[in-house]
Structure 1
Amino acid sequence: MSGGNREAGRSVTDKVLSVLTAFESQHRPLALTEIAAIAGIPVSTAHRLVGELTEWQLISRTANGRYQLGLRVWELAQNVGRQLRDTAKPFVQELFSLTQETSHIAIRDGNEVLYIERIYDTRRVPQSTRVGGRLPMHNTAVGKVLLAYEEPWVRSAYLDLDLVRATERTITDARALAAELDRTRGRGFATTYGEQSVDTCSIAVPVFHTGRIGAALGIVVPIARSDSLVRHLPVLKAISARIESATARIPLESLLRAHQVGGDPAPPEV
């Protein structure tokens, strides 16, 4: 039976999460057999778990009998970073008003960038992601900022990963990326030029919290106007400082806990 050889020794929680994350790589409704195969569990187990998840509205069934993530998942996800998002939202809106460029704020979640708030104009820049969306850190300006100011063990762990190439300009060499992160920290901002999408470039600055990196604030502009990117730096830095001041008393540790890169349980003891 499909995936049956992988079921032994797995907890119920592991199987449930495998079912839910089956939809992460397949952006379409899935048949029960597909869910079972991707999750690595027998069809009978998938049938039982999908049925229970459907009752909880975490999964919904389409008219043709396939399954997709339910609205309840989206509702729960909205609570992630809500306090930071609600506090930062007016500042991101102000950034957009002052620059008229796609504006966003993001945090690190494991080895990815998680976008907490984003305001974009579809007439100017193609939408690469959305609020709650994720992208790699090495080919986004916000990601480079987050990596540059993170603890050394986080940076080292990320540099040990296979760096996926999104475009011909994506930095996939660990040494080149390390040098780029050094430049980012030295000048206080990061840029990308066609590294996530060939049509766009971006710039981002850090948002600090109690002396350490908390988030990254950035804008995205069409690649045709890349020469105007750095002129937005004063506005970015000013609004970053205002967000830092507004969030200073918010206990962000629960939100910005040390997500582990590559499954490492903790930074190495020295």
Structure 2
Amino acid sequence: MTIIDSGSGTAEQDRRPELPPSMVERMTRILDAFDSRATRLSLEEVARRAQLPRSTVYRILHQLTESSWIEHTSFGYALGRRALGLGGGDGHDRIRAAAAPLLHELHLRTGMVVHLTVLDGGDSRYLDKVGGRFAAQLPSRVGGCAPAYSTAGGKSILAGLEPEAVDRLYRPSLVRRTGNTIAERTILHHELSRIRLRGGLAFDDSESVPGVACVGAAVRGHSGPVAAVSLCGDAKSARLDRVAPLVVNTAREVSRTLFAGPADRSADNAGAGRLQALGTH
């Protein structure tokens, strides 16, 4: 007589991760595992970050690769051209291309996490993220958003807008993300005025993510700010005053790459050199 062990199947099922009910949620978990356009992950790393079975992740990754949402190379899996395209059209690819080498240089010089963002409605949308081990502690990801008034990069862009334009963006109430988040438009306008007095330099002291401090500067076009560069680090140990000149210099370099001609580069060369020297002290 054959004895069927009905308990073994149940035990095996209990050990398996519970699958999300929809394919969309599974795909979202997998795409969210890539927190930067430069992130390269193995199959096992994607499965661990997404908290999904390896076989499920392999099958979905294969489908995402065929449709260009994910790229698969000998170095691992990465975001594909369609996923990166969600970071924005309207010249965003051009901004990313102009900023990429400068962002990497800024990270190498400071060891801090670097963000490139644009204003999307009232939010800061992340076009790029470059960083080391500390980057994994930040919830920011390429294509993701945070309220612009809660981030250094976002505030540096808002400071370049007319007050009436800022009011139109935030007609409802401002939502707090932490205890330090600006939650009133009057206070926000005072903060933006201070940023303008500092020449566009903005700071974020645990206003978006608890324990994380940032400094940002806008990338300016002919008619106003088009993006922002920011540096983030541990709020207790980051010396933002020391790296702030490097952020300003990087934002200016991105702007010159995008918009300025040879004469403009020559005219700004001395000032940019002084900022760079300040950042090394």
Aligned to 2:213: 201
Which residue is equivalent to 2:84?
Answer: 78
- Alignment-derived partner of residue 122 in structure 1: 133
Gap change, CA 1:177 and 1:152, over 3 Å in 2: closer
Conserved? CA contact 1:171–1:177, under 8 Å: yes
Instruction: Quote the residue 2:224 is aligned against.
Output: 212
Report the CA distance between 1:237 and its aligned residue.
Answer: 1.5
Q: TM-score, normalised by structure 2?
A: 0.61
Establish whether residue 87 from structure 1 lines up as the match of residue 93 from structure 2. Answer: no
Could you say which residue in structure 2 is the equivalent of 1:10?
A: none
TM-score by length of 1: 0.64
Q: Pick from 217, 235, 242: which aligns with 2:246?
A: 235
CA distance in 2, matches of 1:176, 1:191: 15
Write the letter of the residue equivalent to 1:190. Answer: A
Aligned residue number for residue 142 of structure 1: 153
* Distance verdict in 2 for CA 1:229–1:31, change over 3 Å: same
Task: Extract unaligned runs of 5+ from structure 1.
Answer: 1-27, 35-61, 251-270
Question: Residue 159 of structure 1: CA displacement?
Answer: 3.5
Q: Aligned equivalents of 2:84 and 2:135: distance in 1?
A: 27
In structure 2, the CA distance between the partners of 1:232 and 1:245, relative to structure 1 (3 Å rule), is: same
2:237 maps to a residue whose letter is R
Q: Deviation of residue 103 (structure 1)?
A: 0.7
TM-fit CA distance, 1:248: 0.9
Letter in 2 for 1:231: R
Report whether the alignment pairs 1:163 with 2:192: no
- Quote how far apart the aligned CAs of 1:85 are: 0.7
Counterpart secondary structure, 1:213: strand
Contact 1:102 1:219 in 2 (8 A): yes
Q: Cα distance, 1:29 vs. partner?
A: 4.4
Q: Does 1:186 align with 2:197?
A: yes
Q: How do 1:92-111 residues align onto structure 2 when only pairs under 5 Å count?
A: 92-111=103-122
More divergent stretch after superposition (79-88 vs 136-145): 79-88
- Which residue of the partner structure matches residue 187 of structure 2? 176
Q: Is the 8 A contact 2:203 2:216 kept in 1?
A: yes
Is the Cα–Cα contact under 8 Å of residues 125 and 200 in structure 1 kept in the other structure? Answer: no
| Contact 1:189/1:203, CA 8 A, preserved across alignment | yes
Alpha-carbon spacing, 1:151–1:225, altered in 2? closer, same or farther (3 Å): same
Q: Aligned AA for 1:244?
A: S
> Which residue in 2 is equivalent to 1:37?
none
Instruction: Give secondary structure in 1 for the equivalent of 2:176.
Output: coil
CA distance in 2, matches of 1:95, 1:31: 40
- Structure 1: how far apart are the matches of 2:225 and 2:20? 38
Match of 2:6 in 1: none
Structure with greater proportional helix content: 2
Do 2:123 and 2:146's aligned partners in 1 also have CA atoms closer than 8 Å? yes
* Displacement after TM superposition at 1:125 (Å): 6.7
Distance 1:86 1:167, change over 3 A: same
* C-alpha separation in 1, matches of 2:249 and 2:22: 50
Q: Which amino acid aligns with 2:84?
A: Q
The percentage of counterpart residues that share the same residue type is 25
Q: Does the 8 A contact of 2:219 with 2:255 survive in 1? A: yes
Aligned pair count reads 193
Larger Rg: 2
Other structure's SS at 2:115 match = strand
Q: Which runs of 5+ in 2 are unaligned?
A: 1-18, 26-54, 70-79, 262-281
RMSD: 2.9
CA contact (8 A) 2:134 2:233 kept: no
Q: Deviations over 1:70-122 (max 9, x none)?
A: 66566424233222111210010011011111011111011111111110223
Structure 1 residues 140-199: Cα deviation after superposition (integer angstroms, max 9, x where no partner): 101111111124432111332221111111110111111111111121211011111111
Task: For residues 43-93 of structure 1, give each alpha carbon's deviation from its aligned partner in whole angstroms, at most 9, with x where no partner exists.
Answer: xxxxxxxxxxxxxxxxxxx96xxx9x9665664242332221112100100
> C-alpha separation between the residues in 2 aligned to 1:112 and 1:148?
14
